[in-house]
Structures are given as C-alpha cells and as structure tokens.
Amino acid sequence: MIIDATFWVAVSFLIFVIILIYFKIPSKVKTLLDENINQIRKQIEESEKLKEEAKNKLAEYEKKIVGSKSEIQKMIRNANEEAEKNIIRSNEIFHRQMEIKKKNTEDKIKQLKSQAIKDLKNASIYIAFESIEKLMLNSLDKSKLDKIYTQSIEETKLALQKKSS
C-alpha cells in the first residue's frame, strides 16, 4: 500500500472534522451566528422604531410649523389692525388739538381786534378832545367856553339818566 500525500491530507481532514464535532464547534459557531443574527435583527427593529419615531416627530414638527405660520399671520394681521387703529386714534387726537388751537387762536384774534378797536376809539376820542380843546382855546373866549362846558355836562347827565332807566 502506497500512502501518498493525498491520503494523509484526507486523514488529516477527517481527524480535523472529528475534533470539530467532538468539541461541538459547529454548534458553537451556529449559536454564535444565531446570536449575531438576533443582534442584527434587534438592531434593525430598533432602527425601524427610531425611524417611526423620527417620522412621527417630523410630522409633529411640520404641524407645529404650519400652526406657527398661521399664528404668525394672525399676529401680523392683529398688529396691522392695531397699528391702523393707533394711527386713526392719533390722527383724531391731532385734529382735535388743531381745532382747539384754531379756536383759541381765533378767540385771541377776536380779543386783539376788539382791543385794537377800543384803543383806536380811545385814541380818536383823545385826539378829538385835544383838537376841540385847542380849537376852543384859540377861537372862543372864556364865557363861551364855560357855557359850552356846562351845556355838555348837562347833556352827559341826561344821556346817563336815559341809559340808567
């Protein structure tokens, strides 16, 4: 019998396989592979759960964004309405103040006008009296002047009595 290298390789391989079976290596390898497969499955399931949670969060945040956009639009509308109301209110207050100032100014103008008329009348009367006095001094004598003076006093008394009654 010729024993060649192939025979010894075959014998070595059989011994190797028997040793593997004796130490239950294939079952250990199988359990390790099963454990790895189970871990991978768990990781896949966990990642799917995380993916679902992420989708839910994304949907929730999108709803919040849509809600906040509409809320922002509402706030902008309210702010614009409030600004318009404030402008109208300020405009009304301004016009009221201007009317009051206009009325006060008109009243002041009327007062100044009446005061100017009074001053003018007084000045005219004063000038007239001075002119009359100068005229009388220059053209009338003392007796005529006394007569005119007493006559004007009498006329003044009569005019005052008519007014008082």
pLDDT digits 0-9 by tens, 54-80: 999 999 999 989 889 889 999 999 999
* Exposed / middle / buried, residue 136 (Cβ in 10 Å: 0-12, 13-18, 19+): middle
Q: Where are the domains of the chain?
A: 27-164
* Exposed / middle / buried, residue 90 (Cβ in 10 Å: 0-12, 13-18, 19+): exposed
Rg of the chain on CA atoms, in Å: 62
pTM of the model: 0.40
**Two tokens, residue 72:** 């922002």
- pLDDT confidence of residue 163: 65
Angle at 148 between CA 145 and CA 151, to 5 degrees: 150
Query: In sequence order, what are the residues at sequence separation of 6 or more whose Cβ sits closer than 8 angstroms to the Cβ of residue 136?
Result: 145, 148
- Count of Cβ atoms closer than 10 Å to residue 145 Cβ: 14
Give the model's confidence band at 156: pLDDT under 50 very low, under 70 low, under 90 confident, else very high. Answer: confident
- pLDDT confidence of residue 1: 57
- pLDDT confidence of residue 36: 95
Torsion of CA 9, 11, 13, 19, to 10 degrees: -150
Per the listing, tokens 């100032």 go with 101
